[in-house]
Every structure is written in C-alpha cells, then in structure tokens.
Structure 1
Amino acid sequence: MKRYVLLFSAIAFLLNSCLPECEEYTEGILPLTPLNMEEFNSEYDDYNATAPSLGAFIPFCFSTNRNSEGENFDIIYMPMSVHWDKATGDINILNDYDSWIGYQEQFTVLNDALNMANTDSSELGPNLILNSSYYYGDYDFLIMYASDKGGDFQICFTYNYNSPLFNEPKEISYLNSEYDDLYPTFNSNYSHIYFCSARDNDVFNIYSTPLLKNPDRLVEEFNDTSRRDITLNDILSSDYNDKCPFIMGRVMVFTSDRPGGEGGFDLYYSIYEDNTWGEPVNFGPYINSPDDEYRPVLVNDGVDFYRDMMIFSSDRQGGSGGFDLYYVGVEF
C-alpha cells in the first residue's frame, strides 16, 4: 500500500511541475507598454505607417529617410508577420512572410506603386486600401499619401485596379489647399474622409468631408474635381497642432501637442458615439513619453482577442536613432 501512495504522489508532483511549462496559449498577449519594432527601424527616422491586417500577416508600409541618409522621406514596403510564444503568450513582430509565403508575389507589387509615388521630395502618411474584392482573390490596391514635391504637402493616390500596372499618381484635388494637407483616413462605413491640414493660421486641425460614391468606387470619387465642403471638427481640434488622424471602427487615434500631455506630441483617442466624436483622451504615461509620439495606427491582428495593436513612432530614448516604430496593446 505504501508503494502505491508513493507512486501516486510522484505522478502528482510530475504533473504539477509540468503544467506551467506544458500550458499552451491559444492567443498572443500584446504588451501594455510600447516595444521597439527592431527589425523595421534604422538609425534614421522611421514613421508614418499603414498596416491593413490580414490576420497575422500585415503588408506594412511606412515613411523613412534612410534611403537619402536623413534627407527626404520615401515610403517603403516591408512584410510583417505576428508571432507568439505558445508557452508564454508573448508576441514578436518580425520582418518576414513566415507561413504566409504565398502572399509574397501578390504583395511585392506594392514596390511598383511606391516607386511611382516616391520623388526627390518627401512622401508621408501612406494609407493602403485593399480592393473590396481582395478576399475573393483579386489582389488590387489603392494607396493614398502626401507629397511635398510642389512645395506644400498635397494628398495623392495611385492604384492598380483592373490592371497589372499602377496608374500615375494624382492629387485628390478637393482635399488639398495651398497649405499642408496630409494623413487621409476613412470612417467605418466610408461615408466620410478625415485628414489634417494647416489651412487655418498654419496650425494643424482635423477636417472631414462626405464621400459621394460607394466604397468600391473610390477611384471615381478621387478623380472628381468638383469642390467639396470641408468641415473643421472642433471636438477633435484644438488651438494647437492636431495631426495624423487614423480611424478603425468607432475609434480615432491621433497626435497633438496640446497642453496637458507628457511632453512634445502625445497620442490621443476619441470614441464615436451617438453620431459624434467624444472628447479626446490622452493615452497616458504608459504609452506617451516626455519626447514625441507620432502617427498612430490601429491594427486588428486577430492574435490578441482582447486588445488591438497600436503602431506609432517616437523619438524617445533607447531607440535605434531618430524616430523609431513601436507597438503596444490597447483596449477601449
């Protein structure tokens, strides 16, 4: 009898000691404080990302001045895959296709679009739109961005709908002014386009205008040269610089140097409820730093079921140099 007691005790000990090591996480856990995206950063400035999600694979485009050794900004494409450790749940962001290698041929055509968009001046704030028929096997893209090749930043676009080649970039004329206009983004049902502009006393505010066409007719919408009513959003905007709006679902994130932050430009969010945007909320010291935080975007990567990924740039201490790209988990 004593031998059986010893045997069962030994089995119980082995099982209990194995549990922490053998447990598998079925989802990743995004960090609550920002982590550096080391594989994407350089000693120069890397920011202004766009990251439409296909689950754990993300066709990641961002602006960098590495190609000119710190002079003008170009938009580049780097594939991103989201990995997590099934023993700990920790998430890693890597520059590879991993098990999504089948996407490589379809998405490397983005380099053709960016080669057409980039100039000897600066291109900032890309927003990559996948064609609405993408999930049925149609790999068409539309990319919006801003270029200052004419002196001021103007919002432009290029696309390859129904064509193997990308079209020559054009301005979206009704969004642009004689001042800097950048960072176009859509609300959840594509009824409005938002952007930031310095058209009011050289201070950046957040503006919007209704879209007249269906979401699958964006090219026709952007080719329209008629004038539109452009509205300043006085809830989101302040007397200071409010820039880089990005919308996912009912949440807008943006950056501002308004008072009350951690220092420099801070990241804020606003929730759309009852047909209006709520008062902006500072993300606080766990995300913002005494330095500058810039161009946030939200990503639903499908890896962490409770938090969305937010990617942004910062020139905080400890980076690779200049502005670096960071990621963090957020919930609203």
Structure 2
Amino acid sequence: MRRILPILTLLVVSNACDRDRYPQGIFPENPINLSDVNSPFDDINSDIPFVGHSVYLVFSTNRANSQTMDFNLTLFPVDFTWDKTDGILSVSRSNTLFDDTYTSFLNLVRRTESTAHEKGPYTFLENQKNSILIFSREINGKYSLFTEQEVAIPNAKVTNQHQIMDEVSNEMYPSFYGRNFKKGAEQSTQGKPEKLIFSSDRDGSFDIYEVDIPSGDTPMQFLTDERPKAIRKLGINTASNDHMPFMFGDLLVFSSDRPGGFGGYDLYYSIKTETGWAEPVNMGPRVNSEYDEYRPIVSEHANFTNRLMIFSSNRPGGLGGFDLYFVGIPKP
C-alpha cells in the first residue's frame, strides 16, 4: 500500500496582500456533527488508520442492513480544510477516485463484513506492507477480538479470532500504547506498542484492562500467542461501566456511566504517569450531553494548535440514531 506523509495539509485560500492571517488551524471548541458522513441510522465506533491529506475514517454502521440492523465496518475519506485568510474550518467528503491508498484500505475493511455485528475498529501499521485492522465481532451473543490483515491477493481473507481472557465475557475496543508509541504516525516514526488496553465485562459490568506485549513480539505475534496472558484491571475503574477506551500517547479517553456525569454515558480522560493513572476527569458539558457519548478517538495534525477528537452520540439534532461528531481538545 502506498503511504502518504503524516500531515493534515492546510489548503491555502488567500490573496497576495492578506495571506496567512490565520496560519495555524484550530479544531472547534464545541462538537460538530460530521453530517457528510452520518446517516439516518447508527454510525459509531470510529478509528483513523493514519493521517494524510485526507482523514480515512473507519467506523461501524447499520445503514446497509436496514432489515437486520447488523453493524458492519465502512470507510469514508474526509477532508478537513483550513482557510488561512478567514480562519474557517470546512469539512467534506474527499474525492478518492484515483487514490490507490484508499482503495487498498477499503478492500481491507470490506473483508471484515459478515452477517454478525462488527464494532470497535482499531488500525495498526505493523510494517510498510502490512496494515492490521482489529475489531470485535459478535459470536453466539459475545464479542471477541478479530484481526484482518492486508494481503496481496484481492478479496482474500486473513481473518483471525483472538481470545485475551475467556470465552464467557465480551472483549472489545482494543488500543495499543507505549512510552514512544504514537498512533497514526508513519511506521518509521510511530514507535513500538508495549501494551494492549481493552474493555471487558468479565466481572459483570464493563471495565478497562491492560496487558503487556512481550518485548520481542510484534502485536500480531502477541495476539496469536495462545499462552495465558497477565491481565490487569486499571485502578481507575468504578462499579459502573467504564468502557470503549482509546490511547493516544499517554492520554486515555473512554466512556463511562459512573455517577456525577451529565447524562447516560459521558466522555472522560486520564493521563498515564510514571506512577500510574491520574484520576479520570469528565470532559464537561462542552463535550458531554444529557444523552450518551460513545467511543472517543484522538489524533494530532501538523499545523493545528489543538488535537482532533471524534466520538458518537445520540443527542438531539443529528441525522438519526447515533451520529459521529468532532471537536478540538487541548494539546499537552
């Protein structure tokens, strides 16, 4: 698959006498509906494989299965365009007619489709020739982790099922992290994942767990190793549901229905420190609503002063069901 530089290009719309009045892009302080992507059905659980001229957004939707309402993964290219003259951000579907990178990744996503539910996608570039898509698929009423790998033969499937803990609990929303690992960067600069974080209802309600990746293993070697794994429950969990985690650097974002929120499920964040995890902080009424906010993801883009966060919500004013929203959050 041809790779593209890990930058979000700022498209210049300016005249000679007034150019670069707003040289740095800013993602909005309040959530905006991704209306060019959403549908009257449920659009949830997104991920960004890597950041380039266009943002390739992988997410789960039941729009194609209006009779059965099965959730499958889909891929939409999105352009975030910053006007340096007027300081205005515009968002639109990208034209990918002749984009080999998009076509290759679209084939990878399409190979995950089944008659079951697929949710919680997470992408990882293991090397220049192998992109890995991790997701959860419902089998016999329980979600297990699966992987689909990029292969040279079109439409060939290399799908593997992975059980981290046991067969009686749901295992969902995987995410890698490590001291030098940065999701979405080029393979040469992204660093090596050291841990896998995910959520499971092993003890009744959903909690967030982590497990070490052996230093000599690649992520795929770790996932396919059937030996028992030393799994730890994070100390930030509560008696409520702490769910849908995502790591970006040392930032953990997740969804929880713990007491003290603004609605059903709210978005929270915690920072990984040398001594453990900082006390989770509610993202507040600017981001959260009286309804449910699900599965946040975070990415960082060159020439923008803040980070991009995308999440799903069933708040009023959307196109229907759960919609995807985007908002800016501060850099450290």
- TM-score > 0.5 by shorter chain: yes
Paired residues, what number? 303
Which of the two has greater helix per residue? 1
Comparing 66-75 with 253-262, which one deviates more in the overlay?
66-75
**Distance in 2 of aligned mates of 1:87 and 1:76:** 34
Residue identity in the other structure for 2:226: T
Whether contact under 8 Å (1:193, 1:209) holds in the other structure is yes
Matched-pair identity in %:
31
Q: Give the equivalent residue in structure 2 for 1:126.
A: 121
Specify the SS of the correspondent of 1:38: coil
Return the match for 1:174 from 164, 176, 195.
164
Residue identity in the other structure for 1:228: K
Structure 1 residue 151: deviation in Å?
Answer: 2.1
Deviations 1:2-45 (A, max 9, x none): xxxxxxxxxxxxxxxx9996653222111000001111000000
Whether contact under 8 Å (2:19, 2:84) holds in the other structure is no
Structure 1 residue 110: deviation in Å?
Answer: 2.4
Specify the SS of the correspondent of 2:139: coil
Deviations 1:133-169 (A, max 9, x none): 3xxxx4x310000000332000110112676665431
Q: Give the equivalent residue in structure 2 for 1:95.
A: 93
Unpaired runs of 5+ residues, structure 1, are 1-17
Residue identity in the other structure for 1:168: V
Specify the SS of the correspondent of 1:174: coil
Return the match for 2:84 from 58, 61, 86.
86
Matched, 1:141 2:131: yes
Matched, 1:286 2:286: yes
Residue identity in the other structure for 1:93: V
Specify the SS of the correspondent of 2:142: coil
**Distance in 2 of aligned mates of 1:58 and 1:257:** 30
Unpaired runs of 5+ residues, structure 2, are 1-14, 182-192
Q: Give the equivalent residue in structure 1 for 2:258.
A: 258
Greater Rg, structure 1 or structure 2? 1
Q: 1:314 to 1:240 in 2, by over 3 A?
A: same
Q: 1:324 to 1:252 in 2, by over 3 A?
A: same
Specify the SS of the correspondent of 2:164: helix
Structure 1 residue 289: deviation in Å?
Answer: 0.5
Structure 1 residue 254: deviation in Å?
Answer: 0.3
**Distance in 2 of aligned mates of 1:96 and 1:118:** 23
Whether contact under 8 Å (1:53, 1:301) holds in the other structure is no
Matched, 1:191 2:194: yes
Q: Give the equivalent residue in structure 2 for 1:10.
A: none
Matched, 1:325 2:324: yes
Q: Give the equivalent residue in structure 2 for 1:110.
A: 105
Specify the SS of the correspondent of 1:290: coil
Return the match for 2:48 from 51, 58, 61.
51
Whether contact under 8 Å (1:82, 1:92) holds in the other structure is yes
Deviations 1:191-228 (A, max 9, x none): 11000001102x0000011111457x222222211111
Structure 1 residue 119: deviation in Å?
Answer: 1.2
Whether contact under 8 Å (1:56, 1:303) holds in the other structure is no
Residue identity in the other structure for 1:92: S
CA-atom RMSD, angstroms? 2.2
Matched, 1:68 2:65: yes
Specify the SS of the correspondent of 2:36: helix
Whether contact under 8 Å (1:113, 1:166) holds in the other structure is no
Deviations 1:53-78 (A, max 9, x none): 32442221000010112711000011
Q: Give the equivalent residue in structure 1 for 2:187.
A: none
Specify the SS of the correspondent of 2:111: helix
**Distance in 1 of aligned mates of 2:288 and 2:248:** 20
Whether contact under 8 Å (2:111, 2:155) holds in the other structure is no
**TM-score (structure 1 length as normaliser):** 0.85
Residue identity in the other structure for 2:308: M
